[in-house]
Structure 1
Amino acid sequence: MHPDRFKDQVMIVTGAAQGIGRGVALAAAAEGAQLVLADRSPLVHEVAQEAAALGAQVVVLEADLETWAGASSLALRTLADYGRIDILVNNVGGTIWAKPYQEYAEAEIEAEIRRSLFPTLWCCRAVLPAMIEAGAGAIVNVSSVATRGIHRIPYSAAKGGVNALTASLAFEHAQDGIRVNAVATGGTEAPPRKVPRNPNPLSAQEQAWYQDIVDQTRATSPMHRYGTIAEQVAAILFLASREASYITATVLPVGGGDQG
């Protein structure tokens, strides 16, 4: 931990209700950030209480960030409460279904892209005017090493889009004092999700396909293990901080050596 690393800085964390987003929110709270926590699950209010107990000022917004309306309301709420946006951590996303590509239905492919690409696209667009006006800002997009992997092709394509967005946005807005980077997370150990991405029970075949992903993830990582939430959070907050002031347009793999 770095006490006061984010003192007097306003940080938006999306997908903050659980997992890596929750970890980012609580670590940033402990390091002095003024927070805006967004999620479409009401569980985000519990995380806000935890962050407030660490001394942080916290604003909470339940919003569907797969839509422009949700993302724009997030930016407007942040500006209304704090008057500025210093840091955006885009953490919404995640595989909904795990299966060979030919098994995906049309609606499932579209849902995966909406879940893992559009929230990042919309939120970057929503905060840009305020960051351009301020002449400063840091955006960290949560990507994945699963841009090369099996049984989740639509998710892989979405995260490839996040990587392209990261690089191009960084090139376009370095002149405005805005840094844009991404962390490509590897397999990460986390508690069972309170709100599952796919609420339907998995069939035996679907469980086998998911196990294929787990096996491939461990096999392609030189460390042959899953990472921890804390290991992902450390990389995200480094790129968000002034310690990374000369780093932009970079996708940092945090996958035990798997480069994605």
Structure 2
Amino acid sequence: MSTRHFAGRFAGKVLVVTGAAQGIGRAVAIRAAEEGGRVVFVDRADFVEAVAAEAGEGNTAAFNADLETHEGATAAMRFAAETFGGIDILINNVGGAIRMRPYAEFEAQQIDAEIRRSLMPTLYCCHAVLPHLFARGGGTIVNVSSNATRGIHRVPYSAAKGGVNAITQSLAMELAERNIRVVATAPGGTEAPPRRVPRNAAGDSEAEKGWMAEVVQQVRQSSFMKRYGTIEEQAAPILFLASEEASYITGNVLSVAGGDIG
């Protein structure tokens, strides 16, 4: 599928994209740079620097950070502001279910890990970026949520993404008078190349592989289109919401899931 680019759409803007080393975040960050933005690629994977270099030198930079900590989020935003003179747009893309299993099968520490991965980076980065957006006189935050707020075998992840939706709506109401928009997309199942950093470093058990297959079937059947989306189909609405074309949109969570609103 061809991807339409909008030359100069982000000219003069500084964007921070988290989770930019692979998947949707990588596609968003590279395309934002191609459309004129100065982009900071943030990820805890070491190869984020090589990914940022793909988008060309001069208007990109890379920063390694663990965004599951407030210290990591604060350091990333400080680096972006110091490197490019400020921040205009934050795209919070870090997250992803670690395990797929019925809720009764989750262990307590696994529940905690899902919340840390898929809620805390957005919560912390939204907080850490605010002084920089205030200094700019406004800006935009785009959170990448999920339509899996309704879905099987990932209740802790669903809860985390429900929290992302709540952050989006509450923060949008609070910050509108400061000229800051807060919006989100809620991607559905998305086809992507094999992950260079696996979602579950411990690997899946045979039971988890079976539960994953059930999730894939549920996601396809819940979509009106009966298919997964592409990375390009996810990146495009994120960048639209980040752009001035969406200047009168705030507080919205846009489902991008072939009709399944989650």
Which category of TM-score, normalised to the shorter sequence, fits these structures? over 0.9
Corresponding position: 1:32 with 2:42: no
Q: Return the alpha-carbon distance in structure 1 between the equivalents of residues 84 and 206 of structure 2.
A: 49
* 1:4 paired to 2:15: no
* Residue pair 1:30, 1:56 contacting (<8 A) in 2 also: no
Q: Is the 8 A contact 1:101 1:153 kept in 2?
A: yes
Post-superposition CA distance 1:165-188 (Å, at most 9, x none): 000000000000000000000000
Segments ≥4 residues shifted beyond 6 Å:
none
Give the whole-Å Cα distance in 2 for the aligned partners of 1:48 and 1:7: 18
For residue 20 of structure 1, the aligned residue among 19, 24, 30 is 24
Of all paired residues, the percent bearing the same amino acid is 58
2-structure distance, mates of 1:103, 1:156: 15
Deviations 1:62-104 (A, max 9, x none): 0000000000001111111122110000000000000000111
- Corresponding position of 1:110: 112
Pick the aligned partner of 1:235 from 231, 234, 237: 237
Q: Secondary structure at the match of 1:227?
A: coil
Look up the equivalent residue of 1:182 and give its one-letter code.
A
Q: Which secondary structure state, in structure 2, belongs to the residue aligned with residue 189 of structure 1?
A: coil
Matches of 1:175 and 1:122 in 2, distance apart? 21
Please tell me the residue identity of whatever aligns with 2:10.
F
Residue 56 of structure 1, CA deviation: 5.5
Cα RMSD for the two superposed structures: 0.9
CA–CA separation in structure 2 for the residues paired with 1:146 and 1:7: 34
The question of 1:206 aligning with 2:208 is answered yes
| CA–CA distance in structure 2, aligned partners of residues 209 and 121 of structure 1 | 29
- The gaps in structure 1 that reach 5 residues or longer are none
Task: Report the CA distance between 1:58 and its aligned residue.
Answer: 1.2
What CA deviation, in whole Å up to 9, does each residue of 1:191-226 have, x standing for no partner? 010110112232221111001110000111100000
Residue of 167, 170, 173 corresponding to 2:169: 167
CA contact (8 A) 2:134 2:178 kept: yes
Q: TM-score, normalised by structure 2?
A: 0.97
- Gap runs ≥5 in structure 2: none
Equivalenced residues, count: 258
Question: Residue type of the partner of 2:13?
Answer: Q
Comparing 161-170 with 201-210, which one deviates more in the overlay?
Answer: 201-210
CA distance in 1, matches of 2:81, 2:203: 41
Q: How does 1:100-249 map to 2 (within 5 A)?
A: 100-249=102-251
Alignment partner of 1:38: what SS?
Answer: strand
TM superposition score normalised by structure 1? 0.98
The one-letter amino acid paired with 1:145 is N
